[in-house]
């Protein structure tokens, strides 16, 4: 391995474990549905305490990801939905019109060739 190549340094996480200040039990970060973004409730002693800004940032990122996922799912549902009845009717009419126009063009070409060649 040459020394010119950049090396990837993996540093340990700088976020301390979330511990309840009242009883010392580990505290879950909580769900996305928590209304208070900077607090977490200890399930051991039911104490609600403030969390570090790093955890608040993690929550905010998770909420943003969840929001983006829901938006993407809604968009995907919209994109894969079949066309409505009016659009299907319009597509049918336009397909019939194209076939009729192609037949008229073919007849026009045949009649033009026959008249130019003076067969009739
Ligand atoms: Zn506790």
Q: Do 111 and 99 reside in the same domain of the chain?
A: yes
Domain presence at residue 6: no
Question: Residue 49 C-alpha to ligand 1 middle, in angstroms?
Answer: 9
pLDDT over threshold 70, residue 5 = no
The residue segments making up the domain with residue 23 are 12-81
For range 76-86, the mean pLDDT: 89
More confident residue, 55 or 68: 68
Q: Evaluate if residue 54 carries a pLDDT over 70.
A: yes
pLDDT at 39: 82
- Is the domain of 66 the same as that of 118? no
> What is the token pair recorded at 81?
């939905």
| 18 and 40 fall within a common domain | yes
What pLDDT sits at residue 36?
Answer: 64
Selection from 51, 72, 48 nearest residue 60 by Cα = 51
Q: How far is the CA of 47 from the centre of ligand 1 (A)?
A: 6
Q: Which residues pair with 29 in a beta bridge?
A: none
Separation of 27 CA from ligand 1 center, angstroms?
7
Q: How many domains does one find in the chain?
A: 2
Same domain, 44 and 91: no
Residue in 77, 78, 79, 18 with CA at minimum distance from that of residue 50: 18
Output the CA 81–ligand 1 centroid distance in Å.
Answer: 49
Most confident residue range from 45-59, 68-82, 85-99: 85-99
């Amino acid at each position: 391995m040459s020394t010119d190549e950049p090396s990837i340094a993996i540093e340990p996480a700088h976020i301390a474990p979330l511990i309840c200040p009242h009883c010392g039990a580990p505290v879950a970060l909580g769900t996305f549905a928590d209304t208070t973004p900077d607090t977490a409730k200890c399930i051991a002693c039911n104490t609600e305490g403030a969390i570090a800004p790093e955890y608040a940032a993690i929550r905010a990122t998770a909420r943003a990801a969840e929001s983006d996922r829901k938006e993407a799912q809604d968009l995907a549902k919209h994109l894969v939905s079949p066309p409505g009845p009016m659009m299907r009717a319009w597509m049918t009419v336009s397909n019939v019109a194209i076939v009729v126009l192609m037949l008229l063009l073919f007849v026009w070409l045949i009649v033009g060739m026959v008249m130019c060649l003076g067969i009739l």
